Amino acid sequence: DAGVTQSPTHLIKTRGQQVTLRCSPKSGHDTVSWYQQALGQGPQFIFQYYEEEERQRGNFPDRFSGHQFPNYSSELNVNALLLGDSALYLCASSHHPGTVKNTGELFFGEGSRLTVL
């Protein structure tokens, strides 16, 4: 049973560039959320996707956008990169809260380490 997979694992960009990160949820999960974790901090919620729509959003600017595909996989896009966007980006998956299968447990991938120079 494949867990949550993310790609790429590491990447380096320069200020002003754009980046796309990818996530495949755990088998059977339909809801994906993204988190940003700066060094030495806890993860911060970016947004959540279910049924190909953004359902909830944290306190992040519009430069952060996402997408969910019919197979439940998801992308996180960040435009006009800033030095402060350097972080570990984590994807989490679960069953949707409204479904019987949901226990509320989140499963995380290994993350994508983004460095902005």
List the one residue out of 48, 9, 42, 56 whose CA is nearest residue 25.
48
Residue 96: Cβ-neighbour burial (10 angstroms; 0-12, 13-18, 19+): middle
CB of 17 to another protein, least distance (A): 23
CB of 50 to another protein, least distance (A): 9
Describe the chain by its helix, strand, coil percentages, rounded to 5. 5, 50, 50
CB 81 within 8 A of CB 74: no
107 binds another protein (CB under 8 A): yes
Span 60-79, contacts to another protein by CB under 8 A = none
Stretch that binds another protein, among 14-22, 66-74, 77-85, 107-115 (CB under 8 A): 107-115
Q: Which of 1, 2, 42, 100 forms a contact with another protein (CB under 8 A)? A: 42
7 binds another protein (CB under 8 A): no
List the one residue out of 107, 88, 113, 85 whose CA is nearest residue 18.
85
* Site residues (vs another protein, CB under 8 A): 4, 6, 31, 33, 40-45, 48, 55-56, 58, 88, 90, 92, 94, 97, 102-111, 113
